[in-house]
Each structure stands twice: as structure tokens, then as C-alpha cells.
Amino acid sequence: MTHTVLVTGVSRHIGARVASALAAEPGVDRVIGVDTVPPPSAARDGGSHARRTEFVRVDLRSPDIAQVIAAADVDVVVHVSLMSGSSRSRSAAKEHNVIGTMQLLGACQRSTSVRRVVVRSTTAIYGSAPNDPAVFTEDGEPSEAPPSGYAKDAGDVEGYVRGLARRRPDVVTSTLRFADFIGPGVDTPLTRYFTQPVPPTVLGFDPRLQFVHEDDGVEVLRRMALEDHPGTFNVAGDGVLLLSQCLRRAGRLSLPVPSPLFRLLGEAARAAGRVDFSPEHLALMCHGRVVDCGRLVRELGWKPKFGTAAAFEDFLRSRGISGGLTAAVADRLSDLAPGRPAPFKDDQ
């Protein structure tokens, strides 16, 4: 039975929802949410439980997090506050991700009560390159190791998790590599991109994309917090969408531009405060990325409720974006387009 759970990043949407879901569990006596600013008063689909979460203001980069864990006799740590950061705050995001995780896991290593640690990572760790495999598994390696940015941070974070697992084999460690989150409450550079009137695309490229619906992401984190599932797991909705299919479903006219101009437009959008694409997202818009989630399905005996296409459709409905082609017509047009790769179908 789980008694006390500590959740990081509760001031952000996913962290608040995870804390709320765990507070609703009968086997959880106490949920402690930590962040540098107070969380929203209620999370989507669970406001009363969100208010049951005890908030502690603490910066993960400080040693204070060890005092919180020790004072509360924390059993389970759910670290979901990995952040990409805008181009203007990349240095602060790196410190939070790398130094903050180092402090947190160091506190877990020294703790006598912690017995399970769940860490949010990202499929961006695989990168996006022209010579990538068609589908990444958890054992796959990126063809080009990310030299900097969010993906590099995730690699460092996962290294710390492996170090904790070696030094404390009695502590169950689970690492979840999430595809891009999407859903009614998600606000990211990618969701903002799809709401632009005329989104630019990279001339000659039609990348394959995967999404994970926020409901499924929260459910995976909830299950991992309550059960022992050691290891590393990809998390994404079944199937893929081509970028062209996404834009057709959103009723958006794309603006194909050469790659250098796409980067210039991205810089202009960042300067205007509209869309802040990281280098990882710029590469994704050229080469895409697809992961296999078979290990997660086999381990949990469960699969995400939303496939990639269904998650994207729910996002469009929530934003009131209509007027696009139906899914069937958009898929058929993509199949008929010359030189376009066939959509990958995940049978898991």
C-alpha cells in the first residue's frame, strides 16, 4: 500500500492532474505537491481532490527537497517537472532539469522511506534525423546524440535515474519517455503551432508525428506511482499522423518554405512571443519520430485509450477548430500524394 506520494511540478497542468488523480486513490494517505509557485486551485476532472494535495514551495535545485522527503516519510516520488523552457529561459530550464533532478534523486538515495521513483522523460531523447530507424524501441540509440537543449537534459536525467537504480536496487525506478502531449488543457509550442492561421512547413518534408493524450499520460503516471514497474517505457498513442494530415484536419493551409527560411520564421515567431520552437521541434518538423510502445502495453496489460489521431481530434474539438477535412478524406489525400510515405500503423 502506498501511504505518502510526492509529486514535483504541481504548478503545471500535467503535474496538477497527476497529484489530483493520486489524491483520489483510497490507498494513498497523503499527496505532497512541490513547485516554486502555488498550483492551480483545481485540476481538470478532479478539482476536489486537487485541493486535498498539500503544497510545499521548494526549488528542486536546493537541498531543501531532502528535508521535505525526510519529514514526510515519502514512499513514492513522481517527478514530472522536466521542462523544455523557452529560448529565453533555456539556461534556467537546464538548471531545473539537471541540477534539480540531481538534488531530488540524491535525496531519494539517502532516504530510508522512499521505495519507488517515477520519472517523466521524453521521446525527444531519440532525436530526429534523416537516417533514424523507422520506429524506435527503448533499446534503440539516436543516430545523432543531442548536443544540447531539452533532449540533452533528458539524457542527463535518465543517467541519474540509472545511477540511483544501481546504488539503491531496493528502490523501484521507472522512466517514462512521453511523445508530445496534446489535449484540451495542454499548451505547448506544438499545440500553438497548430492554431496558427497559416503554419509554415519545411519544403520537401512531411514528418510522421505521434501524440499522447493528456488523460492517458496522467493514467500511466498514476499506475506507475501505485505499482512496481521497473525500467524504461515509451508512451504514445497508437498509430501516427503525417504533418499534412494534421493540417488538413485542422483546416489549415500550410506555407511550405525551405529549411533555412523555416528557421528564420521560427525565430521571428519567438521574437513575437507566438510560437517558441526549440531545436528539437525544428528537427521534428523535418524528420518526425515514431516509437514503439509494446513494452508498456505488455508490462501494464493496458494501452492508451486515445490513439494519436483520436488525441489530435480531441485537441481540435477542445479549441473549437473546425472546417477541416474529415479524417478519412485527409488520410486518403495523403495516400494519393506523390512521394509521400505511407502512414505507419501500430498493431499493438
pLDDT digits (tens, 9 = 90+) for 240-268: 999 999 999 999 999 999 988 887 877 77
| pTM greater than the 0.95 cutoff | no
Judge whether residue 186 has pLDDT over 70: yes
**pLDDT of 32-58, one tens digit each?**
999 999 987 644 444 445 456 899 999
Q: Cα–Cα distance between 155 and 98 in angstroms, integer?
A: 9
Q: Is 347 exposed, middle or buried (0-12, 13-18, 19+ CB in 10 A)?
A: exposed
Report the pLDDT value the prediction gives residue 41, as an integer from 0 to 100.
Answer: 62
Report the pLDDT value the prediction gives residue 46, as an integer from 0 to 100.
Answer: 45
**pLDDT of 90-109, one tens digit each?**
688 889 999 999 999 999 99
CA distance to 119, 135, 220, 235, 308, per residue, from 305 (Å): 22, 21, 11, 12, 10
Q: Is 204 helix (H, G, I), strand (E, B) or coil?
A: coil
The percentage of the chain sitting over the pLDDT mark of 90, rounded to a whole number, equals 71
Report the pLDDT value the prediction gives residue 189, as an integer from 0 to 100.
Answer: 87
Report the pLDDT value the prediction gives residue 43, as an integer from 0 to 100.
Answer: 43
| Average pLDDT for the chain | 87
Q: Cα–Cα distance between 180 and 52 in angstroms, integer?
A: 29
Report the pLDDT value the prediction gives residue 146, as an integer from 0 to 100.
Answer: 76
Whether 242 contacts 289, CB under 8 Å: no
For residue 174, list its beta bridge partners. 118, 231
Report the pLDDT value the prediction gives residue 273, as an integer from 0 to 100.
Answer: 61
**pLDDT of 294-316, one tens digit each?**
999 999 999 999 999 999 999 99
pLDDT category, 87, cuts 50, 70, 90?
Answer: low
Report the pLDDT value the prediction gives residue 86, as an integer from 0 to 100.
Answer: 55
- Which range, of 85-99, 105-119, 171-185, averages the lowest pLDDT? 85-99
Q: Where are the domains of the chain?
A: 4-183+210-235, 241-336
Report the pLDDT value the prediction gives residue 234, as an integer from 0 to 100.
Answer: 98
H helix runs in the chain, sequence order: 13-23, 47-50, 64-72, 90-94, 100-110, 149-167, 189-194, 214-226, 243-249, 259-271, 279-287, 294-300, 308-318, 327-336
Report the pLDDT value the prediction gives residue 274, as an integer from 0 to 100.
Answer: 64
**pLDDT of 147-170, one tens digit each?**
778 899 999 999 999 999 999 999
**pLDDT of 51-80, one tens digit each?**
568 999 999 999 999 999 999 999 999 999
Judge whether residue 88 has pLDDT over 60: no
* Average pLDDT estimate for 316-324: 85
Judge whether residue 124 has pLDDT over 80: yes
Report the pLDDT value the prediction gives residue 346, as an integer from 0 to 100.
Answer: 37
pLDDT category, 179, cuts 50, 70, 90?
Answer: very high
Q: Would you tell me which CATH number, out of the four given (3.10.270.10, 1.20.210.10, 3.40.50.720, 3.40.50.620), belongs to the domain 4-183+210-235? A: 3.40.50.720
> In this predicted model, which residue has the larger pLDDT, 347 or 266?
266
Q: Cα–Cα distance between 143 and 153 in angstroms, integer?
A: 17
What residues have CB less than 8 Å from 109, skipping those under 6 apart? 164, 167, 168, 171
**pLDDT of 230-239, one tens digit each?**
999 999 999 9
Report the pLDDT value the prediction gives residue 316, as an integer from 0 to 100.
Answer: 98
CA distance to 113, 114, 291, 341, per residue, from 110 (Å): 9, 9, 34, 50
> In this predicted model, which residue has the larger pLDDT, 289 or 325?
289
Match 499534412 to its residue by C-alpha cell.
Answer: 244
